[in-house]
């Protein structure tokens, strides 16, 4: 984009004034939109994500150890049953 094309590409608008600013050009007269969502702290989200990830990692590790211990415990019994 060249400097000549720049004014054509950007739309000139007044700041929100509710139509009573008399700036000498067409006013868009749009009020600011309200957002009902509460702002959240990025650090709090990061801490919550890391705590959740640690919980599920620990849970998966305990589950894996339990499955391996169960296999090690019942494998000799299953081999005896299979050989009879």
DSSP letter for each residue of 5-67 = THHHHSPP-PPP-TT----SS-----PPPP--SPP--HHHHHHHHHHHHHHHHHHHHHHHHHH
Task: Name the percent of the chain lying above pLDDT 90.
Answer: 33
* Residue 51: inside a domain: yes
Mean pLDDT of the region 58-84:
92
**Mean pLDDT score, 27-42:** 59
The boundaries of the domain holding residue 83 are 42-84
Asked, for residue 79, whether it belongs to a domain, the answer is yes
In a domain, 46, yes or no: yes
How many domains are contained in the chain?
Answer: 1
Give a yes or no: residue 77 inside a domain. yes
Instruction: Establish if 48 belongs to a structural domain.
Output: yes
For residue 24, being part of any structural domain is answered with no
> What are the structure tokens assigned to 2, written together?
């060249």
Q: How confident is the model at residue 84 (pLDDT cuts 50, 70, 90)?
A: confident
């Amino acid at each position: 984009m060249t400097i000549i094309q720049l004014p054509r590409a950007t739309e000139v608008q007044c700041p929100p004034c509710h139509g009573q600013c008399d700036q000498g050009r067409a006013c868009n007269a749009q009020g600011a939109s309200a957002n009902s969502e509460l702002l959240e702290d990025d650090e709090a989200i990061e801490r919550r994500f890391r705590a959740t990830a640690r919980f599920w990692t620990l849970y998966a590790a305990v589950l894996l150890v339990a499955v391996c211990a169960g296999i090690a415990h019942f494998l000799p019994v299953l081999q005896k049953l299979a050989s009879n």
